Amino acid sequence: MKTTPHIKPMNNVEIAETVLLPGDPLRAKFIAETYLEDVQQFNTVRNMFGYTGTYRGQKVSVMGSGMGIPSIGIYSYELIHTFGCK
């Protein structure tokens, strides 16, 4: 399985093409636990929690992006270029 310095998927959990990126990793956890079904955690690196589940039959991932443009730039780049997210 592919990894990056900031995203290391665990337990063979795939990252969906559609990823929601709230800044706060605890907000990502809340979204996953509240709105997604069949939730599995895929990332804990640097406490930037990531989860994959389904929403209305669609596979969706949600992952914290940290504070500010530099942080979201790193995470979004890695998700798009390494994991094929859109």
Which pTM does this prediction carry? 0.95
Three state DSSP letters for the chain: CCCCCCCCCCCCCCCCCCEECCCCHHHHHHHHHHHCEEEEEEECHHHCCEEEEEECCEEEEEECCCCHHHHHHHHHHHHHHHHCCC
In whole angstroms, what is the distance from residue 5 CA to residue 18 CA? 21
pLDDT in tens, 10-38: 999 999 999 999 999 999 999 999 999 99
